[in-house]
Structure 1
Amino acid sequence: METFNTVITAYDDGDIDTNRTSNPHLNDMIASRYSRRQALMGGMSAATAAVFGGALLSACSGVDAIPLTIVAGSSGQTTSGKLVTLTGTVAGGSARNSSWSQTGGPPVTLTGANSNVATFIAPSVSANATLTFQFTAIPESGNAVNSVATVVIAPAVLGFTAVPKSLADIVTVPTGYTATVLYRLGDPIASGVSAFANDGTDTNFAQRAGDHHDGLTFFGLAATGTTPDPTSNTRGVLALNHENITAAYLHTAGQTSVGGARPEAEAIKEIECHGVSVIEVAQTGGTWSYVQSSSLNRRITPLTPMAFNGPVRGNAILRTVFSPTGVAGRGTINNCANGTMPWNTYLTNEENWAGYFRRSTGDVVARGGATSKVNVSLARYGIPEGRAGNNNWATVVPADATSTNFSKWNITVNPTAAADGTGDFRNEAFQYGWVVEIDPFDPASTPRKRTALGRMNHEGCQIGRTIAGVRPAFYMGDDAQNEYIYKFVSTAVWSAADAAITNRLAIGDKYLDAGTLYVARFNADGSGTWLPLVFGTGPLTAGNAAYAFADQADVLVNARLAADALGATRMDRPEWTAVNPATGEMYATLTNNSSRTAAAVDPANPRAYNDPRTTGGSTNGNANGHIIRLRETGDTSEATSFTWDIYGFGAGSDLDATNINLSGLDATNDFSSPDGLWFGLPTNITGTSTPLMWIETDDGAFVDQTNCMLLASIPGIVGDGGTRSVTSTLGGATNTVTTRIGKTPGTTLRRFLVGPKECEITGIHSTPDGKSLFVNIQHPGENGTAASITSNWPANQSGTAAAGSRPRSATIVITKADGGVIGI
């Protein structure tokens, strides 16, 4: 998800290609549009009865539609999510009593119904809907008098002015919004832990916020106690990933080495800065803060005990000196995107884990030569011999000679150890690359690695719509060049009662430990097929020439090799997945692919080009990425086929509109390298009827014009556009393919936020009411050093930063001045 440079070992961030197959590639484009002005307030009739005062209607004709006030006897129009005020008056005097009641249209909750002024929130609608209300008043003298008010509600529109591109060192949000820093690298999460000095001297990151904040989820917390409350908007638990580190700022003067070995204190700090945070947060007086002393707070790091569940549990490939039975392990690392389960657990996903392992020259021979199965597997997952491992942790000589906290990062075979792996860490790399389930409400629980979901560079793992009696699906991307999109369909059918079970990890066992893993093949005609990764099916047998699969555990451990054999479509770095809560359609970000060539374009990945930059040189391949979407056949998660198109293509608005800027992006919505992706929750207006989709970027091609950003969109549906021929010219080769592009997004896609210098925008979730939006700002100032700081964020977010303030990854919370729902 990021570009990371370390003094010791470069971090590849998935921007590598270990897929040597010739499997086809595929890709498509944009979403549907709603004009932000299509639902502006209409005209109003005059008052219809003498007992009522003159009519008053505030038109919402601007981009940021204002609340509607309508007087009895009048009519008006607004959009979903807006506050509507109904006002009734009695001419020339007061009334003994007055009230409002709804007489037609989608039902709403009236606040102040037994008075002359009532309010409601315009309901979510997919097409214009008419609501009618009756005002009844009994004057001090005389009979009751009635009058009717009519309000036409149009679908939701984006309700903010686009934020311009920016290279400033600050988080910028639209007028009317506020971004507040909530939880930063180094913040203490236990009583008695000192405040963060931020000068490289801090220790004990097992009780502090980690680095490189990434995927996150807000879980509502009951007003008292430590139990879930999915309706809570003011108290909750945040679970968030810490993907990586900016080592230059963690230590006093950056990383050091002594005689070729890393200092133990530095290495343990770096290790503890990875993993996951679980923290309690609360809103008091409109202000959010985290609760340092909460009993729910905990850090999960690369040294935290883990349990393996599913078909690979106990398999010989998981055996190590630490776990001779292959049922347990230590730690999770390079946690990128996430998943939020309806039974109130958190899925964290291990992405670029392979780079952390040391493998000495000669290990290939020690494991039986290049054609042995284990060497084929290690090569396919990007762990060649002759590498030191990110940060050189394996070189540490611990003060405690019995500690294996550092030797676990060395997977080189020890020739004197047992051949079954129980005497060294030759199999440690196979303990990583999994989806990990965490119970955020039980600090004593052991996270479980869900092996049925396959082993890869996991990005997101998002569950689709849950429907009673239907087996749910979980959608995943494998973030590396030319890798695949997967889904897992559970054996268990969904039961809504499971969302309230207190043994949450047991519910995870039910849905995540048994089922079928599939990989996607995108066809040129807009159809697609889910190919089952099931041992004994097609080429997934012991007779497969490229790799002889032994059993289902072997298929799951080597999901990439299985997908290769099945002929899945190689994609442009699949990252986050998101499911439209109204339609069930799945969206996936394909962030970029520098190895895409003109000769290798295909309908689902149709662009290969040169993108010139004014600074830093040009970028090649699919430099700006795109967002693909699919709709399951029959709209069921159990389907084995689908249709697809491409919602949107990343591009600068200055690039060729014929073959590069295929989505017609302009200065208000052009973007590059889509990464994070999330739909509003169905508990508020942004997740119903016409849901709001949020897009976060991790850019390397657009950085000459702007820092990374967050965009809001209201997408349409698969097939709302058409086909288009795209010609790619790169490296002297030219190739034309026909792809499927969604409807041009236009004003239904708009830039909402721009981050500080050198950051990535990643991780997003909200309170159930959609009025507080949590977003992560990752690695600001990542290209600097302790001696040459390139960002002062977040110290400068609310004013001038103190001289020498080091940048810190952080979670921010965004609220709206009028207290409304974010984005509309």
Structure 2
Amino acid sequence: MSEQMPFNDDYDSNTSGNAEFLDLFNKKISRRELITKTAGGAVAITLATTLTGCSDDNDSASIVDDSVFDESKLPSSLQFKAVDKNTLNAFSVPEGYEARVLYAMGDPIAPNLAEWDDNNVPSGASFTKRSGECHDGMTFFGMKNERYDANESTEGLLVMNHEYISNARLIHPANNTVGQPIRGEDDVIREINAHGVSIVHIVKNPTTQVVEINRNSPFNRRITAATPINFAGPVKGNDLVKTATSPEGLFSLGTINNCGNGYTPWGTYLTTEENFNQYFSREDADRTDAELLSLSRYKIPTKSNYAWHTVENRVADTEYQYDRWLTRKEVDLTAEEDFRNSTNTFGWIVEIDPFATSERPVKRTALGRFAHEDCRASRAISGQNLAFYMGDDSTGEYIYKFVSDTQWNPKDVNGGYAAGDKYMDHGKLYVAKFDFNEATQSATGEWIELSINNPLIANYDKYRFADQADVLINTRLAGDAVGATKMDRPEWVAVNPKNGEVYVTLTNNSNRGRNYDTDAANPRNYFDNDSGSTSLRGNINGHIIRLRENGDTTTALDFVWDIFLFGAEADSLENVNLSGLTDANDFSSPDGMWFDPRGILWIQTDDGAYTDETNCMMLAALPGQVGDGKIAEAKSGDATRLTPTGAVLDDSKLRRFLTGPSGCEITGVTMTPDYKAIFVNVQHPGGTWPSNHPAALNLSGGRGTRPRSATVVITRKDGGIIAGEGFEQAATQPA
């Protein structure tokens, strides 16, 4: 999530009174037991490495199972030269690499559309065939014979999110209605269509590794905030999602504020609806206390800065339904006839089959409703239940997992939405509670099922849940009811293909130590002493927590954990810079994160605390495992807090791979299966980037100097493997 939202999202809606951490029960597990438990999993890894997927169609290409981990492809050290910190309005990569701008805001994905032009801004309707704004989460799907093929690198579909409008004036003509009480229809249509998802057909030259967009492809399409999307799972047809759009509660219009992402082992894309609240205005007349509590818990404001509901002189009203962005009860109308429930139709995980051009995407309601930042599947191991791990990106919110009732069958690769029905509509949703026993110095946790059958939920005194669908629609309230642990803005999730461990970025929390007491899972409260500002306090630089399921099984109800990395400036106090970061790898506010199939962890930042010294960045890491570090003392105001830390990584295991242009967030990362092209998104850059990017490396045909969000593809000049210098050098050494 960007720090530059056009909506005040600072206030805390979590008033549940749940214990921060210290009041949780102490489990009797020794440090020796913790180490023993985290060293396991060899059987699961051995099983995983023997599996490959296949399709029922004998003519289809072999699909590599997502659980397969090849130790020989993981370098023992990182050998590329670390990129220096800088504040340039430029995109910087290591020596021997080059970065090409591939796809920028406004770029067409159809052959009959003109290039973007600052002085001749195209119509709002044309953005159904143009790049949206604020590129974010992203996945590459290899394609062969017009079907998903996890081994294919020369051709595929690049699918990416467009989160929000960072500066509306940058996408509109000079004469616009931004900030006015009544919005112009074309401006609103442009903004609605600039949200959502892009699906772009790309081809890569196997010799030069140059990537280009095939604008003539029938696979190119946009899914926007006005695209019809079906409901599936327990909430489908429930009274709380019935609106004038779909009186039966079977579908909604659009997906919005798409931030992080995920992908399924059967070859579909998962987009996450994060801060959907900022698009709505609300009126509270005739609302029940339960409705008002739900609206407040999900931070639905009185007035939205977008003001999409204010359009007059409507020509395209049937297609866009502007009135749905004002949620209220209409006099003498039922829920099926007004938009009192319109906010409930957002905040879901949306499945998109990029290969099914004529089918509607699906909102998978069994995975709960909240500010979804990311959604990552567990390793796909035949005969084991799939799990999906998720974070709720807001201060003091929770970490979740959904466990499918169905065990993975590799024959479901290329199963499309039918496979989604099978694995994502039926299962159990859990929320995490973390514990640290100071006496035994053991870090454990438990998954609590969010079920209407849980007495803590059924008898919750602040909100009376009607049924399981209500639990899923009001997932945050259900998490409150069971006493889940409040975290420092859980954002992206990554699953280590080597051992199945789950990593979650906790970006920051300026209120840690004030409205939120520190605890072992969120242990730091400190000032940025060299910033010259006393406003930078709390958990300023964020951290990455990781956990390992008991027995390495997705159905486990218990886990062990530690803090993998603490963001910090290299010159911070030792009890702030607990990870021993240096100038080659210090960072702040971890956000985007992804394990490539080799086991390299890519970490991206969305920062406002360290940007006086460096722009946002992406680092590469070679992690160990939970329990490989020690118990340390973190600065907590004038005291310290004990916390389990991961092993200190020197710059051979953690180093800076790139920095983005000034003003930007670096987000979204994916790679071709041959590891020779890596894609990264630059969100809301400043200055004039990318028009000032080297012309020979700018594949966007856009004209003008407005800063534009864009996708960048990075390759090595010698055509080699990204971050592969370590094992390439090892291979040349004499035996």
- The C-alpha deviation readout for 1:579-633, integer Å capped at 9, x for no partner, is 0001100000000111211560000000111224547774121111000000000
1:48-197 to 2 correspondence within 5 Å? 156-197=76-117
Equivalent-residue separation in structure 1 for 2:74 and 2:201 (angstroms)? 38
Tell me whether 1:741 sits opposite 2:612 in the alignment: no
Report the residue type matching 1:511 in the other structure: Y
Equivalent-residue separation in structure 2 for 1:380 and 1:511 (angstroms)? 29
Equivalent-residue separation in structure 1 for 2:91 and 2:321 (angstroms)? 38
Match of 1:719 among 614, 627, 642: 627
Tell me whether 1:252 sits opposite 2:166 in the alignment: no
- The C-alpha deviation readout for 1:304-350, integer Å capped at 9, x for no partner, is 00100000000000011111000111000000000111111000000
Equivalent-residue separation in structure 1 for 2:533 and 2:331 (angstroms)? 47
Aligned to 1:574: 490
Equivalent-residue separation in structure 1 for 2:70 and 2:381 (angstroms)? 21
Aligned to 1:23: 18
Tell me whether 1:497 sits opposite 2:411 in the alignment: yes
Q: SS of the counterpart of 1:281?
A: strand
Distance 1:324 1:735, change over 3 A: farther
Aligned residues: 664
Q: SS of the counterpart of 2:106?
A: coil
Find the structure with the greater CA-based Rg.
1
Question: Deviation at 1:751?
Answer: 0.4
Question: Deviation at 1:823?
Answer: 1.3
Aligned to 1:787: none
Aligned to 1:665: 581
Match of 2:351 among 437, 453, 466: 437
Equivalent-residue separation in structure 2 for 1:438 and 1:161 (angstroms)? 38
Q: Out of 185-194 and 232-241, give the one that drifted further.
A: 185-194
Question: Deviation at 1:803?
Answer: 10
Distance 1:760 1:257, change over 3 A: closer
Question: Deviation at 1:665?
Answer: 0.7
Q: Do 1:26 and 1:571's aligned partners in 2 also have CA atoms closer than 8 Å?
A: no
Question: Deviation at 1:796?
Answer: 2.4
Match of 1:545 among 461, 475, 490: 461
Tell me whether 1:397 sits opposite 2:312 in the alignment: yes
Question: Deviation at 1:173?
Answer: 0.4
Q: TM-score, normalised by structure 2?
A: 0.87
Question: Deviation at 1:469?
Answer: 1.2
Equivalent-residue separation in structure 2 for 1:215 and 1:804 (angstroms)? 26
Match of 2:7 among 4, 8, 11: 11
Question: Deviation at 1:15?
Answer: 4.3
Report the residue type matching 1:270 in the other structure: E
Tell me whether 1:483 sits opposite 2:406 in the alignment: no
Q: Do 1:216 and 1:763's aligned partners in 2 also have CA atoms closer than 8 Å?
A: yes
- The C-alpha deviation readout for 1:554-597, integer Å capped at 9, x for no partner, is 11111100111111110000000000001100000000111211
Identity rate, percent: 47
Report the residue type matching 2:690 in the other structure: W
Q: Do 1:170 and 1:794's aligned partners in 2 also have CA atoms closer than 8 Å?
A: no
- The C-alpha deviation readout for 1:77-116, integer Å capped at 9, x for no partner, is xxxxxxxxxxxxxxxxxxxxxxxxxxxxxxxxxxxxxxxx
Equivalent-residue separation in structure 1 for 2:384 and 2:218 (angstroms)? 37
Aligned to 1:588: 504
Q: SS of the counterpart of 2:419?
A: helix
Equivalent-residue separation in structure 1 for 2:697 and 2:380 (angstroms)? 48
1:363-382 to 2 correspondence within 5 Å? 363=284, 365-368=285-288, 372-382=289-299
Match of 1:768 among 673, 681, 705: 673
Aligned to 1:218: 140
Question: Deviation at 1:398?
Answer: 3.9
1:217-236 to 2 correspondence within 5 Å? 217-222=139-144, 225-236=145-156
- The C-alpha deviation readout for 1:478-515, integer Å capped at 9, x for no partner, is 000000000000000111111143xx100000000000
Task: Kindly indicate whether structure 1 or structure 2 has the higher relative contact order, using CA contacts under 8 Å at least 6 residues apart.
Answer: 2
Q: Do 2:527 and 2:534's aligned partners in 1 also have CA atoms closer than 8 Å?
A: no
Consecutive unaligned residues in structure 2, runs of 5 or more: 23-67, 438-442, 725-735
Equivalent-residue separation in structure 2 for 1:793 and 1:515 (angstroms)? 45
Question: Deviation at 1:26?
Answer: 5.7
Aligned to 2:219: 296
1:313-328 to 2 correspondence within 5 Å? 313-328=236-251
Q: Out of 798-807 and 342-351, give the one that drifted further.
A: 798-807
- The C-alpha deviation readout for 1:677-728, integer Å capped at 9, x for no partner, is 00112xxxxx1xxx21000000010110011000000011000011112231
- The C-alpha deviation readout for 1:193-251, integer Å capped at 9, x for no partner, is 111113362221111000100000000011xx422222111101011000011312111
Aligned to 2:528: 611
Question: Deviation at 1:530?
Answer: 0.4
Q: Do 2:87 and 2:614's aligned partners in 1 also have CA atoms closer than 8 Å?
A: yes
Q: CA RMSD in A?
A: 2.2
Equivalent-residue separation in structure 2 for 1:587 and 1:322 (angstroms)? 38
Q: Do 2:119 and 2:704's aligned partners in 1 also have CA atoms closer than 8 Å?
A: no
Aligned to 2:32: none
Report the residue type matching 1:341 in the other structure: T
Report the residue type matching 2:148 in the other structure: P
Aligned to 1:536: 453
Distance 1:794 1:588, change over 3 A: farther
Distance 1:799 1:768, change over 3 A: closer
Equivalent-residue separation in structure 1 for 2:696 and 2:674 (angstroms)? 30
Q: Do 1:215 and 1:338's aligned partners in 2 also have CA atoms closer than 8 Å?
A: yes
Q: TM-score, normalised by structure 1?
A: 0.78
Match of 2:380 among 453, 466, 481: 466
Aligned to 1:341: 264
Equivalent-residue separation in structure 2 for 1:26 and 1:657 (angstroms)? 23
- The C-alpha deviation readout for 1:166-188, integer Å capped at 9, x for no partner, is 10011100001111111111111
Q: SS of the counterpart of 1:509?
A: helix
Equivalent-residue separation in structure 2 for 1:444 and 1:588 (angstroms)? 35
Distance 1:546 1:334, change over 3 A: same
Equivalent-residue separation in structure 2 for 1:632 and 1:198 (angstroms)? 51
Aligned to 1:812: 712
Consecutive unaligned residues in structure 1, runs of 5 or more: 28-122, 130-152, 682-686, 782-789
Equivalent-residue separation in structure 1 for 2:90 and 2:179 (angstroms)? 37
Match of 2:331 among 401, 410, 415: 415
